Structure 1
Amino acid sequence: MNIKDQYPNLTNFFEAYIHEADLDGFASDEEVAQQYAVTESSFARSRVIEQGRALLLESSFPWEQIGDKTNRDFQDEQNTRQWLQKLIEIIVSGAAI
């Protein structure tokens, strides 16, 4: 599976927002997700949320690809799933503010 082909909006979020978040002055990925939730359009947010949820349902979860796209060194699949779930929850709740 190539996540860029199957989940283009989510991959764009990873590459554009998460990949170098520390260099952009963000203290955490959660802070990036909060900022994304309040600055991006509802359409962009809904696509990222939809694709994130769909990716979480994949039985063959591409956690190493996610690590590559985000420049993060995840320990394992479970750790990566938890991280992604948390970011999706932040985007969902942050968009409701």
Structure 2
Amino acid sequence: MDTSIIADVLEIIVFAVMALLAISFALLVVTAKDIVRSALSLIAVMFVVAGLYILLNAQFLGVIQVLVYVGAIGVLILFAVMLTKKQFGSDKDAE
């Protein structure tokens, strides 16, 4: 077999795996009941999308995806989630 055919098949397989990962993490973002898991899944989706950009020879977009979305927006979401006050129990428990 020609090496270019093997490279093309390997590239399609990697793309398919990354696309399935992106879809599964995106579904986890929507269906997760815990907001921290949802935020971490969103960051994972952003990493996979950056990998897809790099796979499609758009390296600049992949790097910008990691720096802006994963770095800035992801950290902002995690800090917002961690600093949100969560109530446990009710006021009747305090009496």
What range is the shorter-chain TM-score in? 0.3 to 0.5
Larger Rg: 2
Larger helix percent: 2
TM-score by length of 2: 0.39
Higher normalized contact order (CA 8 Å, seq sep 6+, divided by chain length): 1
TM-score by length of 1: 0.39
